[in-house]
Structure 1
Amino acid sequence: MPELPEVETTRRSFAERIEGATVRQVRLGKPLRWPLGCPPEALVAQTVGSASRRGKYLWLPLERGGLLMHLGMSGSLAFSEVPVSPPGAHDHFDLVTSRGTLRLTDPRRFGAVVWSPALDDGPAAKLLATLGLEPFDPAFDGGHLHRALRGRRVAIKQALLAGDVVVGAGNIYACEALFEARIHPRTAAGRVSRARCERLATAIRRILAQALELGGSTLRDFRDAHGMAGSFQQHAAVYGRQGEPCLVCGTPVRRIVQAQRSTFFCAHCQRR
């Protein structure tokens, strides 16, 4: 599933190229997770603004409202400044503009493109209401993390994945951040001390910053709007390294399953 680094990498790869363009046509394919919410022709002739991101959502403002986009489990956006090929079976949305075509491809159709009157109104406001802080927000620190986790019995790994404390710590990045902070993934979230929360907040920011520099992670089919793959997975300390020696102590990396997601950790470095 594309996480914050992959979504932000995608945004950066097309935002400047489409800004200021005029919408000429909107093509819908098979139904996605949620309906568009307006007649496609209502978007025609509007000017595209500056694309932004909130969590794993992309916001593409128009003169009247905007489009909230989500890549779902396996979706990707591609922007082409030359005429695109006819849509294939998995191409479900084309925004044809005066500067090129933005196309959403999603084999599993869990992604979405939803019109909203504003980012803080309508469907967008409802979908974004439960999101936690952005990891690079100055307000996100150990103190915030410690307060938000207080009293929670759920495992710290699952608390990070929930996204209501901090966004962006998806499965790969949560595993890596917990390893860097030396916290066992099964530790009850409410038992993580203030000092360890400080280490964890720092680790989350550093891991996500590194992932952004490397264009995110490509485990199967993620590509940015240029068609480029990410390479963070090649630098992972524990994720995907089951049975291999820990890079710190040499203990074999372990894999467990939490909430149907694979978790990788070092039992020696990350003691409970």
Structure 2
Amino acid sequence: MKTSFPSPQSFFRQRRLRLSVVLIILIGIYVLSMTIVNFQTWTSIVKIPAGIIWLFHNFIPTERSISYLGPILYQLWRTLLVSISSTIIASLFSLVFAILGAQTTTPHPVLRIVIRFGASLLRNIPVVAWAMILLFSFKQSDFTGFLALFFMTLGYLTRAFTETIEDLDAEKLQALQAVGANYFQCVFCGVLPEAASTLTSWVLYMIENNLRDATLVGLLTGTGVGFLFDFYFKSFRYDAAGLIVLLIAILVIVLELTSTMIRRAIA
């Protein structure tokens, strides 16, 4: 009995039909959403050029902005320290939880379920929500921003580390167990050396990401360069606010280039 296959023309016709149906559904959802919230799409699009012109006219740093450079650099340095410290501390806890929660290294299946559920819960709460929740207990302080970044990073890295460990070759662990290696020897001699490069990449990525998030958290906690941006913006000193945005972008680019160099060195 011969099996008949669809012709190439028929295959591509069906594919185009499915894509067209999906596109129509997405457009319908968009139109329905805009109707419910009364969003004027065309009016907003027309106003975009004027908004961009105003942005570049007001947020371009001027000679007067140089006088604000000292306070801005100081607060940017504090923000960077909070980002790095929260990421490093969270990565240490995440590594422990990932080893206990990964399918190949967990001591007990129940512990794996608990850790994965906790990691999903932590990482699915936005960092802004964490900052607002912690604000009631710890007030406006650098420690509040640190904890907000810590909890979000803990959930994110635990999940990422867990998947990294589970993707490793299980035969190496089985070989270590076959020669009599105990649990800790399997972890420190088989898992960590093999996953070190990928785990380091995740940590470097989160430092970059947390620097951006720390700026937003600073608006709520009244600390760091985020608070300074909010202060200058509300004081109509847009040139100083624009200088902050420019320096943040430069710092993020420098961090990204540094991270790339480190990844290549340890690859």
Normalization by structure 2: what TM-score? 0.23
The structure in which a higher percent of residues are helix is: 2
Which structure's relative contact order is higher, taking Cα pairs within 8 Å and 6+ residues apart? 2
Bigger CA radius of gyration: 2
The structure in which a higher percent of residues are strand is: 1
